[in-house]
Structure 1
Amino acid sequence: MFNKSATIISLYKPMLNPIQKLLSKITRKKESKYQASLMMATHALYLLIYQNGEKKPIYAKSLEKQEEHSWNESIKAILDNEYLASARLNIVLPGSEYQMLIVDRPEVEEQELLNALRYSAVEYVSGNLEDIVVEYFDIPVQPSGQKKVNLIAANRTFIQDLLKLTLPKCNELQRITVDELAYLDLFREDHDASMLVVHQPKEELLMQIVKDGQIYFFRRIRGYLKLDTFAELEISHGAADGLSLEIQRSLDYFESQLHQPPVKRIYVAVQSPHQALLIDKIGENFSLPVLPLKNRLADELPEDSDNQGYFPAIGAVQELLHTIEQNELTPRQGEKLHEA
């Protein structure tokens, strides 16, 4: 139904959608001993669990999603873990279950904006209004004369099934998000702008610029669906230069249209044996550093894996840790899910 996924509990503002209303009725069973995240990519699922106060995960698991298996089967399999019963969980939705796009901001009061966006979403996404839940977050800087907002529309049935599967397994479900925002969580404290060029197998390449805990720019680049399978020859003779051109266009937009200081560094994450070559070739076209994203995350990665599928999962966990630091935890009252 959808080409992408959704932030159902936004880190930018209070949760305003039907899923939040449901979550608000769920009681925490006890204080959480662990912080966990579940990243769902099109090709695989990734689970990370951290003990409070520790940088390295105490548990990491990846599970390749078989095409013949439903999402429900894969989710059940990866959530079969004893730590989760004492864990607070964030979830990153698979790209097939949401769309994230920039739309015109309706001329309504702030408290009416989400509802107005929900009704206007039918202009931008496929499917019926009853089949989606929506969330939005603001764009920090816009070109002159524009008034846009970032809209996320998610498959309602998928979200409801996901809640039914995950809530009995974890101590507390904190947030459901998308990988664009999960990657942002990795750069929450950075005041300089960074560009991210990241790719998950079987998905379009994501390019975004982040600064001061906000997304200033994002786009999905077509033509790189199988970037992780490109051979050395393809990278050296066309792919790296093509990507460099897309990067330069994005940098130009950021500086000339948004009037922002230049990006300080470019981070690349591609699940490919030739990632180092790709980074080197892109780096030849720019004067700023082009770096592997995994270098920034070395302390938080599992001991025996640098699989870049874990990267947004690390971001989702860091959002949990930030919430603890900011003393933003609030107890939830009411009935359990099956009583809601």
Structure 2
Amino acid sequence: MFKRTPQSRNVGLLLAANRIVLAASGNPPIFAARSVAGSQEWASAVSELLGDHGLAKSTVRVVLDATLYQQIQIDKPAVPETEMAGALPWAIKDYVSEPVLQLAMDYVDLPTPPAGRPRINVICLPKQQVQLLADAVNGVAQLATVSSDELAMTALYPADNMVRMLLWQEQGQDLQLLVFYQGGLCFSRQLRGFAALVGEAAPDSTLLDALALEIQRSLDYLAGQLKLPELGQMQVAIASAFTGTLISHMEQTFGFGVSVMTNKAVTAGVEYLSAYAAAIGGEAR
């Protein structure tokens, strides 16, 4: 009766072709990562990661790295919700190279402009990959959900009426521009050509001006096409020693405050952010 009850932790796992990233909620949280040579090593790596940190039999929420899935934005099929699962494969068949019946897929609703047709974001990946990740996790723990890295990030923001933008970039990855509104991810862009933001030297004004232009284009789309309220918050989560330079340039360009995202994952390393979001998203539920 005097034994301390072990602390229950929610676990987020980012799966990629070359790595697995773990984040577990708690005080203190747990952060760990392991390289893999391919998805065939997921099972052994997941077992070792969870076992090494006493997280076997935990509830696990898997996040898929962007290289593992495909996103397609289309008009929402005009069928009842109960028939959407059957309608999705034929709605996206012209946008994928794989046979649609070999793909697992799901969708989220996108903001619909006034007088516009409802649109959805379909996320799909091979069923074989889903089976691999399910076997890898369920062999040692309990798989609860599978989400994309972008969608997992919604757990980092409250479900209110403020429009929030996040600039997110890991070392060696493209810059992601994500916009959240009313508890959902309503807009995302992958911005190529900004690898120097996480380089060893401070970014120059030419690069920062180019980024500001891309941000302005996104702001124009949010206001002009999606009819969203003005941006209420811009945050930066970038694996760079020169984040201050970027923030200062954006504040001077746009005239509003820009801040560094601060949470336990960013402190540990930006690469843990989506896995951490999955873990705390499970906590909220």
- Do Structure 1 and Structure 2 share a fold, with TM-score over 0.5? yes
Secondary structure, aligned partner of 1:36: strand
Q: CA deviation at 1:238?
A: 1.7
CA–CA distance in 2 between the matches of 1:43 and 1:143?
Answer: 43
* More strand, by proportion: 2
Encode CA deviations 1:45-90: one digit per residue, 9 max, x unaligned.
3111234xx4x31x3212245xxx1233255225413322231110
1:88 is matched with which residue? 59
2:13 pairs, out of 38, 49, 53, with: 38
1:267 pairs, out of 223, 235, 242, with: 235
Q: CA deviation at 1:41?
A: 4.8
CA–CA distance in 2 between the matches of 1:227 and 1:74?
Answer: 31
1:301 pairs, out of 249, 265, 272, with: 265
Report which stretch shifted further, 192-201 or 31-40. 31-40
What TM-score comes out, normalization by structure 2 length?
Answer: 0.88
Encode CA deviations 1:282-320: one digit per residue, 9 max, x unaligned.
222112221112x1x1xx438xx5310111112101211
Secondary structure, aligned partner of 1:86: coil
2:279 is matched with which residue? 317
Q: What residue identity is the alignment partner of 1:309?
A: E
Q: How does 1:276-287 map to 2 (within 5 A)?
A: 276-287=244-255
CA–CA distance in 1 between the matches of 2:176 and 2:45?
Answer: 28
Q: How does 1:151-230 map to 2 (within 5 A)?
A: 151-170=122-141, 172-224=142-194, 227-229=197-199
RMSD: 2.4
CA–CA distance in 1 between the matches of 2:130 and 2:195?
Answer: 25
Tell me if the contact between 2:31 and 2:268 (Cα under 8 Å) persists in the aligned partners. Answer: no
1:289 pairs, out of 233, 257, 264, with: 257
Detail structure 1 runs of 4+ shifted over 4 Å in the superposition: none
Secondary structure, aligned partner of 2:44: helix
2:99 is matched with which residue? 128
Q: What residue identity is the alignment partner of 1:314?
A: Y
1:333 is matched with which residue? none
Tell me if the contact between 2:11 and 2:59 (Cα under 8 Å) persists in the aligned partners. Answer: yes
Q: What residue identity is the alignment partner of 1:193?
A: V
Distance 1:41 1:272, change over 3 A: farther
1:61 is matched with which residue? 32
Q: CA deviation at 1:237?
A: 2.9
1:24 is matched with which residue? none
What TM-score comes out, normalization by structure 1 length?
Answer: 0.74
* Equivalences, count: 277
Secondary structure, aligned partner of 1:137: strand
Report which stretch shifted further, 203-212 or 152-161. 203-212
Distance 1:168 1:219, change over 3 A: same
Q: How much identity, in percent, do the aligned residues show?
A: 26
CA–CA distance in 2 between the matches of 1:78 and 1:321?
Answer: 21
Distance 1:157 1:203, change over 3 A: farther
CA–CA distance in 2 between the matches of 1:100 and 1:282?
Answer: 29
Distance 1:226 1:104, change over 3 A: farther
Q: CA deviation at 1:278?
A: 2.1
Q: What residue identity is the alignment partner of 1:313?
A: A
Q: How does 1:93-104 map to 2 (within 5 A)?
A: 93-104=64-75
Q: What residue identity is the alignment partner of 1:291?
A: S
Secondary structure, aligned partner of 1:38: strand
Structure 1 gap segments, 5+ residues each? 1-30, 324-340
Secondary structure, aligned partner of 2:235: strand
Q: What residue identity is the alignment partner of 1:33?
A: S
Structure 1 position 107 matched with structure 2 position 69: no
CA–CA distance in 1 between the matches of 2:78 and 2:206?
Answer: 45
